[in-house]
Chain A
Amino acid sequence: MAVSSKITAPMHRAGRPAADPASAPSGPRSMIEFRGVSKLYAGDVGLDQATFTVRRGEFVFLVGATGSGKSTLMRLLIKELEPTDGTIRVAGHDLQEITRRRVPYFRRNIGVVFQDFKLLPSRTVYDNVAYALQVTGGSRKEIRAKVPDILRLTGLSTKLHNLPHQLSGGEQQRVSIARAFVNHPPLLLADEPTGNLDPETSIDIMRLLYRINRTGTTVMVATHDQTMVDKMRRRVLELSRGRVVRDEAAGRYARDESTRDLARRLRAPSAPPPGVQ
């Protein structure tokens, strides 16, 4: 469709995760760019003059208390909400310039994962993932090629024909991640992906998100799980009452490590991270 051509042009993924988040990225190298973004809800502040940049291939945590604006930020990113003020750019596209009609095509470039999974209860694991391709006009051939692949990546190969209620919470979250990532979007947003899960399962989910990040996808995770954030040692954006109050790497920023190392480190009892005095 001609309408979609502009937006569906692939947003190129960085080959490797960003090495240094401290340097000021700009231009087409940034995946997400907020410039003085505010969102007011009938007098309430959702987001207040938020300004930050996320580079391609980064893994970013978004932390803050309930009502601090995490969800508002996520919903602004998928253009479910319009900012009251400021500009948001995703992969170089100014969201304000995307017409309502093109929003669906824009969203195909963003995978979204939620705390409550949002799976379709009457469809099998395979169908749930295939559904994302079906409704975006994927061909039968494409579905047959992509779905088993992504299910293998997320470790669900043996659960293809199970219904969601037959799965554990962690498995359900994997299905929802598989669905969000089946199109290999350059940006993956996860809103409290481990909110309903026990610590061990949470580690598996984080490991999966990290594995996705290592393919070059920019990943942004909103979470309450402070210990997880501390252990992962990735970039952290903290919101408080709509303001960005902290933007830094927690502890020493963990460099390019394998997912196995990551998991091992996450499972370790909370000893002070190596390298921190």
Chain B
Amino acid sequence: MKLGFFLREAVRAVRRSAAPSFAALATVLVTMLVLGVFIPIVQATDGAADTVRGRVEVDVYMQTSAGAADEVRVRRELLAVPHVHSVQFVSKQQAYAQQSKADPQAYELLGANPLPDTFHVIPDNPANVLAVRNALTPSGHTIDPAVQSVSDRRDDTRKILEVTNLVTITAAALTVLLTIASILLIANTIRLSLYSRRREVEVMKLVGASDWFIRWPFVIEGVVVGAAGALLAIAVLGVTKVALLDPLANNWTLIAAPRTIPFTALIVVLLVAGVAVSALGSGLSLRRFLRV
């Protein structure tokens, strides 16, 4: 009976102030869309960065003049370094074959093979990659005269992390701004509703309605608007996912990245966020404009 009364009052109010309700609904919709798109994307890029970070190894490049004897000696020296799990040798011919397959035209232009022999040194534990690298380049020199340079994948990792951070920060900033806009627009809707129903509020106070009895219809009105926005966003995301992403998922590993949020969880997150945002907006207006 009571809940029914509140719902009827809220729906009545939404219908009466259709324009501001629609503006608030649209903003919540956009906010939830952005949130719904960025959560998986941020997770996917994070996952990509993790993959690169997980591929930790130290590359040891030989002098181009190094011969087979050097190779054997260096391999022995590398295996003697603490924390080295295994060593993989890629000869310059193998490297050339690999790279020229990836970009045949560029390597045809080069004519000669510019690539050195390479050892991929894999540490026993990814955390020890730095220790291994330092052991291979004691005091600025390389471990063996036949070794030209030593590098790890930190640069690659750093680049990917930079991109990921940029995406995350942009998404977070956008979400924060849109959330603020949503809250303010919901607050405005409720404020207008309060204004158009000031008579009801006055009468309710006069006949002795309790504070929360007066507040609930407005809170519900805001939440109805917010939840409607979130539901629409979920519908749009769902249609997009089924129509566009699912057919591509086999070709594009990023979408199928196992670490992205499952769709049902995303629905729950968006609904909760939508309702929370609208409850906040309603509360803001009620605090400021409803003196009960």
Contacts and interface: CB of A to CB of B under 8 A. Distances in A.
Contacts of B205: 104, 107
Interface residues of A, number: 24
B200 interface: yes
A227 interface: no
Interface string B169-213: 000000000000000000000000000000110111111111101
Instruction: Categorize the interface residue count of chain B.
Output: 10 to 19
Contacts of B209: 104, 135-136
A179 interface: yes
B2 interface: yes
Nearest to B210: A104
A52 interface: no
Interface-central residue, B200, B202, B210, B214, by most chain A CB under 10 Å: B210
Contacts of A132: 203, 207
Contacts of A107: 205-208
B211 A101 contact: yes
A33 B213 CA distance: 30
A13 interface: no
Main secondary structure of the interface of B (DSSP, over half): helix
Contacts of B202: 118
A226 interface: no
A106 B211 contact: no
B207 A108 contact: yes
B199 to A, nearest CB: 6
Contacts of A112: 206
A98 to B, nearest CB: 12
A131 B203 contact: yes
Nearest to A109: B208
A120 B1 CA distance: 21
A132 to B, nearest CB: 4
B207 A140 contact: no
Given A118-B199, A120-B203, A136 B5 contact: no
Contact of B204 (A135, A140, A183): A135
Nearest to A105: B208
Contacts of B214: 135
Nearest to B200: A120
Contacts of A121: 199
A121 B200 CA distance: 10
Given A106-B208, A107-B207, A118-B202, A135 B1 contact: no
A246 B202 CA distance: 32
A136 B203 CA distance: 11
A131 B205 CA distance: 12
B2 A137 contact: yes
A95 to B, nearest CB: 14
Given A118-B202, A120-B203, A136 B208 contact: yes
A112 B204 CA distance: 12
Nearest to A121: B199
A139 interface: yes
B206 A137 contact: no
A104 B205 CA distance: 7
A84 interface: no
Contacts of A108: 207-208
Q: Which among B203, B205, B207, B210 has the greatest number of chain A C-beta atoms within 10 A?
A: B207
A134 interface: yes
Contacts of B2: 137
A105 B207 contact: no
A149 B276 CA distance: 44
Interface string A125-142: 000000110111101100
A104 B211 contact: yes
Contacts of B207: 107-108, 131-132, 135-136, 179-180, 183
B1 A140 contact: yes
Interface string A100-120: 010011111110100000101
Q: Which of B2, B200, B209 has the most CB of A within 10 A?
A: B209
B221 to A, nearest CB: 16
12 contacts: A104-B211, A105-B210, A107-B207, A108-B208, A109-B208, A118-B199, A118-B206, A131-B203, A135-B207, A135-B213, A136-B209, A137-B213
Interface of A: 78, 101, 104-110, 112, 118, 120-121, 131-132, 134-137, 139-140, 179-180, 183
